[in-house]
Structure formats: C-alpha cells, structure tokens
C-alpha cells in the first residue's frame, strides 16, 4: 500500500480524478515493493500540485511526457489511447520521483545525458510494469546497457535517483583510463 504521504498528497490534489489517483497509487505500490530504499518525499510533494492535461501532438511526441518545470504530465491523446497506459504513467512517475528542481534522473541544465536518462527510465519502467510493443527508446536502452557494463549498474542506479550526472561522467572517465 502506498505510503501515507503519497495518499495525502493525492487526496489534496483536486486536479486529478479519483480513477487516475487510484492508478497512481497502484503504480507507487509496485515501485515501493521493488525499491523500498528510495525516498518518495519528492514524489509526494510533486503530486500535491501535479496537473495532467491534454497537449498538442506537436508538443508531446510520446503518449505522455512529464515536464518538471511545470509539474505537468502532458498527454498526446492520439498516441495515449492506443498504448499501455500503465507503462507510460510509470515512466512519468519515475521522472517525478527523481526530479530535483527542474530536472530528473540523469538530466541536467546541459542535457548532457538526456539519452541515458530516457534509456534508464525506460529500463526501470520495463522492469516494474513490463515492456511495450512500440518502444520509442530502443537505441537509448542499448546505450545504457553498454555503459552499465563499463561503469556498473550500481553507479547508474545511485546517480539516477540522486540526480547526479557528475558521478556518471566521472565513472566513464575513470573507466576510460583503466
């Protein structure tokens, strides 16, 4: 069962329907069972003001995308209706869990590791709720898998959940020297 802070945050948010709140709770439960060591305070804070809205297919290329700047999930209705919603909402929740200021996971102001960020987010999403037929991140997943062989998954995991691009870059440089 999702933690109390998550439930309270969702209950206080009048922008989200009860059905969507219930779905988010189910996905948070899945996340907590697999990664109990990850602190969800950031997610709880962001869920209080989260807005989910329909966006133009020109602005949102995927079924849905999380915008950390606005704390919004933009939905491309044309792509969302034919997709595995659980998969894409989990992808967005992972970005919310790892969001620090206006960036999430490996992402930063320079967008240095944006491809790695999407690939690792997708790997975690696949692990938590299963893969989808039309995966937009195949190349990014391959890149992350190769890099994890070089620097280790522990470094990637810790850097992703701590929004620490620098540790990944340092580990790559150290691996190159070896």
**113-145 tens-digit pLDDT:** 888 999 999 999 999 998 877 678 899 999 999
Q: Tokens in use for 72?
A: 């919004």
**pLDDT band (50, 70, 90) for residue 56:** confident
Q: Total domain count for the chain?
A: 1
Q: Give the Cα separation of 115 and 106 in Å (integer).
A: 9
Question: How many Cβ atoms from other residues are within 10 Å of residue 111's Cβ?
Answer: 12
Token pair 């391959």 in the structure block, residue? 142
Residue range(s) defining the domain that contains residue 132? 4-177
**Which pTM value belongs to this model?**
0.90
Q: Which has the higher per-residue pLDDT, 76 or 25? A: 25
The helix (H) or strand (E) run that includes residue 74 is strand 72-75
CA-to-CA separations, 52 to 22, 96, 113, in angstroms, rounded: 14, 13, 26
Which of these, 111, 99, 115, lies nearest to 40 by C-alpha position?
Answer: 99
Token pair 């070089």 in the structure block, residue? 150
């Amino acid at each position: 069962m999702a933690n109390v802070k998550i439930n309270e945050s969702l209950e206080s948010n009048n922008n989200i329907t009860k059905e969507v709140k219930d779905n988010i709770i189910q996905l948070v439960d899945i996340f907590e069972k697999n990664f109990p060591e990850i602190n969800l305070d950031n997610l709880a804070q962001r869920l209080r003001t989260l807005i989910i809205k329909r966006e133009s297919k020109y602005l949102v290329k995927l079924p849905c995308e999380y915008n950390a700047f606005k704390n919004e999930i933009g939905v491309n209705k044309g792509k969302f209706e034919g997709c595995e919603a659980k998969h894409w909402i989990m992808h967005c929740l992972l970005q919310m869990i790892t969001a620090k200021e206006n960036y999430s996971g490996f992402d930063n102001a320079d967008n240095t590791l944006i491809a790695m960020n999407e690939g690792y987010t997708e790997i975690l999403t696949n692990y938590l709720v299963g893969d989808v037929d039309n995966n937009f991140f195949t190349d990014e997943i391959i890149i992350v898998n190769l890099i994890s062989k070089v620097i280790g998954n522990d470094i990637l995991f810790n850097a992703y959940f701590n929004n620490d691009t620098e540790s990944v870059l340092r580990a790559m440089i150290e691996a190159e020297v070896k």
